[in-house]
Structure 1
Amino acid sequence: MTDHEPPDDGLPGDEALDDAIVDGLRRIFGRIDPMPPVMDDAVMLALSTVDLDAELAALVVDAREGVRGDGRVLRFAAEGVTLVLSVVPRAAGTVRLDGWITPAQDATVTVRHSRGTAFETDSGPAGRFALDGIPTGSARVLVVLGDGRRIATPALRL
């Protein structure tokens, strides 16, 4: 078998033409539908918090709370376990996170922030926990139950 070169027809090669088309599309979509500014944080969070042993909890409720509606209540469900999070804005770009695990049980709760920091606490036998001073931004919550089962939330905006 021999290699044959295509005839030179004077047109740009396929790669050059493809690159020009893709560059043009990138400019068009950059103007009409730019990437959200939080995308970089979300991608970095997803890459830095991969926990293949954790079960991913499904978000079932995302509601506003409080008199001014400045807080949020998030409810996540995993097989046989519910995680409820109350996220309340605080001063200087931080939030307070109050949580409940049902059925109530001891657990270690870790909030992994897109900035690379982690905040950890224990729930105690009542299944309740609180963390204050968490920076706003993208984060994931990892719950390690007393039996070693690991449950993680999808990335969420604090």
Structure 2
Amino acid sequence: MTSPLDPEDLRLLDELQDLYTTVEPVPPGLVACAQFAVDVESADFDIARIEDSEPLTGAGARGGTGTQITFDCGPLLAVMVQIQIRDDGTVRIDGWLDPPGDHRVELRTATGTTTIETSPEGRFAVENARRGLVQFVVRAAGTTVVTPAILL
């Protein structure tokens, strides 16, 4: 069986690959980022989407810069987090779940997972989180909700 591509076609494809590699190379860390974002041990989960994101200013930033992000997973769950990057480089995360309740939140990073139990009101906090790619996994009432990965 002969190839549908002749040697001239293959040469042109090689030139196009070289051009794209030179002009717009794959960003460093993109493959690792994609693998991190989809690497959840169970395939039985719902995916939240970013509903809203806004910078924090004034008292909400608590002595640094910050962002407030709301993740939504329809009627199952909403997760709001305030991410504060402090002047010393540490990160504090304050979060709220709706509906509230005693649930488990996992903060996934490239180096491991931190598990946090929420209060009955659905509140949780993480002190001194490391900068980098993170993802929230919420295990609530028999369901698991995973947020998109975000960069702290």
Instruction: State the TM-score, normalizing by the size of structure 2.
Output: 0.80
Aligned to 2:39: 48
Aligned to 1:32: 23
Counterpart secondary structure, 1:42: helix
Question: Looking at CA atoms only, which structure, 1 or 2, has the larger radius of gyration?
Answer: 1
Identity of aligned residues (%): 25
How many pairs align?
Answer: 146
1:50 and 1:25 mapped to 2: Cα distance? Answer: 38
Q: 1:122 to 1:18 in 2, by over 3 A?
A: farther
1:93 and 1:20 mapped to 2: Cα distance? Answer: 49
Amino acid at match of 1:41: A
Match of 2:12 among 21, 25, 28: 21
Aligned to 1:87: 83
Q: 1:57 to 1:16 in 2, by over 3 A?
A: same
2:85 and 2:6 mapped to 1: Cα distance? Answer: 50
- Ranges in structure 2 where 5+ consecutive residues have no aligned partner: none
- Ranges in structure 1 where 5+ consecutive residues have no aligned partner: 7-12
Between 41-50 and 120-129, the greater mean CA deviation after superposition: 41-50
Aligned to 1:57: 48
Q: 1:17 to 1:78 in 2, by over 3 A?
A: same
Query: Which aligned segments of 4 or more residues in structure 1 are displaced greater than 6 angstroms?
Result: none
1:143 and 1:42 mapped to 2: Cα distance? Answer: 20
Instruction: State the TM-score, normalizing by the size of structure 1.
Output: 0.78
